[in-house]
Amino acid sequence: MEQLLNQIKKGKVWPFPGGIHPPGQKTLSSTQPITRLPLPDKLVVPLKQHIGANGQLIVEKGQRVLKGQALTQPIANWSVPVHAPTSGVIEDICHAPSAHPSALPELSVIIIPDGEDTWCELHVASDPSKLSHEQLIDIIHQSGIAGMGGAGFPTYIKADSRKAIEYLVVNAVECEPYITADDLLMQEHAQGIINGIEVMQQLLTPTLTIVGIEDNKPDAIAAMKKAAQHADNIIVQTVPTIYPSGGEKQLIKLLTNKEVPSGGIPADIGVLVQNVGTLFAINQAVYEGKPLIERVITVTGNTIHKPGNVWALLGTEIKHLLDCQGFSPVPQQRVVMGGPMMGFTLPTVRIGVVKTTNCILAPDHNELAEPGPEKACIRCSACADACPASLLPQQLQWFAKSQEYDKLKEHNLFDCIECGACAYVCPSEIPLVQYYRVAKAEIKEKQEEQIKAERAKVRFELRNARLEREQEARKNRHKRKPATEKSADEKQKIADALARVSNKPAKDDEKSAVAAAIARAKAKKQGDQLEPDNSEVAKERAARKEQARLYKEQKAADTNEATHSDAPVDDKKSAVAAAIARAKAKKAAQADASTTTGDAPVDDKKAAVAAAIARAKAKKAAQADASTTTEDAPVDDKKAAVAAAIARAKAKKAAQAEQLAASKNNNTEETTVENTPADDKKAAVAAAIAHAKAKKAAQAEQLAASEKVNTEEATIENTPVDDKKAAIAAAIARAKAKKAAQAEQLAASEKVNTEEETVENTPVDDKKAAIAAAIARAKAKKAAKEQADEANPQTETSETSATFEQNIEAQAPVKEKPELTAQEKKKAAVAAAIARAKAKKLLKEGSDKS
């Protein structure tokens, strides 16, 4: 630190990379002193003349203003006011072309001077050294001072730096050709500049203040050294003439050997830079109370007859400056605001002077030739060698043309100071700086849009959150609010209320009293004594009635069979008689089994033998009946139908008996046992067992599988049979015969013994008998349907069979259908005969196996 400070005090400078040496052309304007222009006819004062936000307008159209009166007031950060350059009347407040290459219109105040040039009241500090830091900052702020070296950065922001400043650098280099405004200002107002430096030293307290001046300004160097000889910590340093040594970062490198990091500011390394014009404006604001309303401007060029430097009021039109200095335009005349390197051509001379305007250049065609057409880059690297920021101008130009903004940022586009050195040395005459300016503007615009989008997103999210809160509040509006802490008085009131409630009769007691009253009323209505509950007796009585009804139905069926046996014998009745004979044979076998069971104790082996004998007798009788019916009787339609129906009935009856015996819930057996006296219970049980075995044997012999036989037999015997029904019955009979043959082979004597013991030892229960009967009927219906489907899969036949079986089960007479033709009757008779022959054959095979 001390070594660097000693080197600086000894006058050592450090070079920066790049740089060029264009012709200075400064002698055109530096030989004459600064002059003051007459008041213009009109002043166009833009509201924005600096980096930052506009101030708020505090005047209106038609209002008279005084010289130095504020036209705006700052309302945001980086906002400084503008003041009236002279006294006069505000003619208009409108948009006017701005001092920018695009000349975009900006809000401006149009003032018509009154010629009196009357000042407003000024506040002058008697001793600035006694003012506080805040007071000095406020004076600089309200005076509207901004950087006058070209950037227009608000000075009060720099003066109020929160970072420690080690070196205060005064930029008096003025390296760009033609411009001599700072040179003449230092020559004529060196003491005022030193006073401004002292004010900044009071604010920043730097270790050292360095005034850098190019060695091509000897008069300015001498004047500044003379003014600073009695000042503390101020040294005037001479630097070599090279462009752009006046750049902020380049000057810091020259004077302090420090480099500002990419994307950083000088304050980051403890350095602050101020222009000499800005320091003189601070001097006027603090010591004289004058705001920034005028500045020194160089008006030069071969088309100007009196080139030199002038004091120009802010807002003065460029045309007025040119006319006052003797402007003689040439065809296709160019007027440049700024120097030939960093300036820009004005689209019109009706633009007002602003705080950053330091030069108006009006060259002829020989002095500043028009650039030629852009050619292809030859990759000579001259632009990279001349760049003072160590950038790659050629690469940046490619990225700018292709609008690759991310890559431009990666290659540090914003470190470019737009000095124009790259374009100056380019042999292909590529306007590199123009590409960079456009790219910077587009990137900034994109960033602003992104910031706006983010702000809009935040507003949208906040709005959604607010709407959700409002919706939740509406939902909870009618809900009970959470209980809050109650005061002592409220707690006491609640306790008293609870005590009163506890003294009242209990609610349960009231309910019990009401119930007792209702009970007493009911008792009074029904009488003194209630009737006894006879529900159980009524159930037993109903059961006995049901048993008696079943017994009567069985007896009526037996009587009906006997009646049919005594009827005259004809074609139809002969088949009925055969059926009755088979039934009597079954009863005989049942009687034999009953006698055997009643006289001797029930033995498993004897019972099995008796059952086998009964089955044999039943088979023989059935075979004889079937043979007689088939062989002796002539085959006609009605007889064939009756015979087939009787065969089906017997098979179904046998299957029903087998199913009921196997499930221990045979309806017929239980009815018989229930109606048997208690003394003969064992005999009745034995008879029922024998009867079940006989039925099982008959089922195997007749090859039947349906379980709804009793009803079908009764219905067929009492109902005329037509040919179509006979054909259907024959098909069903064939299926049942096939299934019965399989059942015969699977029968076992051990199962029969078990069934005998179960029936004998199981008490008879009315409810169980009824349930068992229902189960048996359901199983019989399902088996009959399956057998019918197997025998004849046609839809019409299956539906007719199902309907026919339902009619049999319901004990309802079947309505006669229209008689068939002779050919159809003949076909039905043949089918029935074939069915009977097959049944006979199967019965014989079953008998041989037994």
Binding residues: 377, 380, 383, 387, 416, 419, 422, 426
- Do the Cβ atoms of 78 and 52 come closer than 8 Å? yes
> How many other CB atoms are there within 10 angstroms of residue 268's CB atom?
12
Please give the Cα distance from 246 to 237 (Å, whole number). 13
- Do the Cβ atoms of 314 and 284 come closer than 8 Å? no
DSSP line for 686-710: HHHHHHHHHHHHHHHHHT---S-HH
**Strand, helix or coil at 500?**
helix
DSSP line for 392-441: -HHHHHHHHHTT-HHHHHHTTGGG-----HHHHH-TT---HHHHHHHHHH
Half-sphere exposure of 448 (CA within 13 A, CB side): 6
**Strand, helix or coil at 313?**
strand
Question: Which single residue is written with the structure tokens 């605001």?
Answer: 337
CA angle 436, 439, 441 (to 5 degrees): 110
Handedness of CA 830, 833, 837, 839 (dihedral sign): positive
Please give the Cα distance from 735 to 782 (Å, whole number). 14
- Reading the block at residue 667, the tokens are 């309806």
| 359-361 and 294-300 strand pairing | parallel
Determine the residue type at 841.
K
Half-sphere exposure of 202 (CA within 13 A, CB side): 20
Annotated binding site for [4Fe-4S] cluster: 377, 380, 383, 387, 416, 419, 422, 426
Please give the Cα distance from 827 to 723 (Å, whole number). 9
Please, which residues have CB within 8 angstroms of residue 834's CB and are 6 or more apart in sequence?
A: 730
Please give the Cα distance from 85 to 49 (Å, whole number). 14
Greatest CA span in the chain, whole angstroms? 169
Please, which residues have CB within 8 angstroms of residue 244's CB and are 6 or more apart in sequence?
A: 19, 175, 176, 250, 341, 388, 417, 419, 421
> How many other CB atoms are there within 10 angstroms of residue 747's CB atom?
16
DSSP line for 541-603: HHHHHHHHHHHHHHHHHHHHHHHHHHSPP-HHHHHHHHHHHHHHHHHHHHHHHHHHHHHS---
Please give the Cα distance from 480 to 508 (Å, whole number). 30
- Reading the block at residue 443, the tokens are 């990137």
- Do the Cβ atoms of 769 and 674 come closer than 8 Å? yes
Helix axes 667-674, 766-791, angle to 10 degrees: 150
Please give the Cα distance from 290 to 69 (Å, whole number). 10
CA angle 313, 315, 321 (to 5 degrees): 65
Question: For residue 761, what are the CA distances in angstroms to 47, 61, 328?
Answer: 122, 127, 146
* Cα Rg of the chain, angstroms: 65
Question: For residue 305, what are the CA distances in angstroms to 300, 325, 328, 362, 635?
Answer: 9, 6, 8, 11, 153
Please give the Cα distance from 160 to 137 (Å, whole number). 7
Please give the Cα distance from 58 to 84 (Å, whole number). 12
Please give the Cα distance from 583 to 229 (Å, whole number). 157
Closest C-alpha among 407, 408, 417, 361 to residue 387: 417
| 271-275 and 167-171 strand pairing | parallel
